[in-house]
Amino acid sequence: MTSSAVSKRAAAQGSDKSVVTAALAAVDAAHAAFPEWAELGPAERRRRLGIAAELLAGKGDEFTALMAEEIGASAAWAQFNVRLAAGMMREAAAMTSQINGEIIPSDRPGSFAMAIRQPVGVCLGIAPWNAPVILATRALAMPLACGNTVVLKASETCPKTHALLAELMDQAGLGKDVVKVVANEEEDAADVVKALVEHPAVRRVNFTGSTRVGRIVGELAGRALKPVLLELGGKSPLIVLADADIDEAVNAAAFGAFMYQGQICMSTERVVIDERVADRFVEKLRAKVATLPVGDPSLGSVIGPVISDRSAERFLALVADARAKGADVSGGERLKPRLFKPAVADRVTSEMALFAEESFGPVVTVVRVKSEDDLAGVANDTSYGLAGAIFTRDITKALRIARKVQTGSFHINGPTVHDEAQMPFGGMKDSGFGRFGGKAAIHEFTDLRWVTIATEPVHYPF
């Protein structure tokens, strides 16, 4: 396996220094592989990435088993990961011939001026655990399409899942050391990430994860004067107007809030609703949520356990705080140490921690608003800005509100959880900056250069 990993076993047996040394060696190898990969024509890069996409698509069962083992994912969530990741790789393959420059008129006589895009070198991708196949593929697909080599920093929670993805890149014949993967124990993560970001051969950094860690990665990259793409946490609002199709809004809210028990960056954390229809909406939402199977995802349950004991305690604290401060909470009971009934917290106010803090668990809040004029303001009353949605039959009004809501993506009559390979995806405010996906990602993973050709002698003042 040319995309060699620092395995969890090796990391545990070695010192901090040996783990960092191995991580730096991965960057050195990717740097050495860069010139050959960068010189490949777009058709050949497209061919190899296409093979990688088909290999990925064919490994659904293996990824499903690994995701169940490492992160407790249901088969539905794992298979969705594989389908979208394969689509991302196919889209990246299609982009290899779309990396365009332009000819720019010059004021200098006899000067032919161009703006050209070219690969930057080694790109560091840091991927999380919650959508491990999608987000690791996203971290490497467009950088590769643009002619860069990649070092993938795997999540400590799902190293086997990320290692399998790297193996598939090798099997696709991308080339020796074009993709390297580094894994480590949690206690070594800070040292490894710092060393990787500061390595001189790393020219771009992309990180998907929490806002807290994203700030650290952003600061490291800033000190090293390296562009960084950050896709961070969210507190996504789903706005419901009085004229909305309530059944459709309920379906979208239940899906957006409770898919993978709310552990998705785009999860519907808040329903911001016109109080005239709030009672009817909450009644229907609670009825639907009560039907969601809770238990072992491998046996078909929709709601499975949260990822860690720390997540479980955080969920309990947020729900308890909301109850204590007057929220009308249904569900949320603890069934096992990490397993909870899904919760709907109605009449949530800004005094409650659940109003502002990302829960990353199986709970959705309902915030009632008296005036349509206040909907966008309440939706924006958060430090986050990743995704949003609105339900209404008035599309003109929906577009007007969409322009006011400060999120990187916004969906009219659809759920907040929505991603497609060709779309520009990223956040605003504390949800990060930069865009993954399609043509927008070309800007992130190439350098734009100004090149001129003098077609006649240049006049100089001396």
Mapping DSSP to helix (H, G, I), strand (E, B) and coil, where does residue 174 land? coil
Name residue 401's amino acid: I
Return d(Cα 383, Cα 72) in angstroms, integer: 30
Given a contact cutoff of 8 angstroms between Cβ atoms, the answer to whether 37 and 146 are in contact is no
Q: Which residues contact 432 (CB under 8 A, 6 or more apart)?
A: 211, 214, 229, 230, 231, 232, 386, 426
Q: Which of 70, 265, 269, 357 is catalytic?
A: 265
Nearest of 236, 277, 287 to residue 414 by alpha carbon: 236
Q: Which of 156, 167, 185, 231 is catalytic?
A: 231
Q: What is the dihedral of CA 265, 266, 267, 269, to 10 degrees?
A: 100
146 is an active site residue: no
Name residue 380's amino acid: N
Rg of the Cα trace of the chain? 24
444 is an active site residue: no
How are strands ordered across the β-sheet holding 343-346? 328-330, 343-346, 363-369, 268-274, 236-240, 387-391, 409-412
Q: Is 76 exposed, middle or buried (0-12, 13-18, 19+ CB in 10 A)?
A: middle
Return d(Cα 66, Cα 78) in angstroms, integer: 9
Beta bridge partners of 206: 125, 229
For 417-436, b where at least 16 C-beta lie within 10 A, e where not — what string? bbbebbeebbbbbbbbbbbb
Q: Any idea which residues carry the catalytic annotation?
A: 231, 265
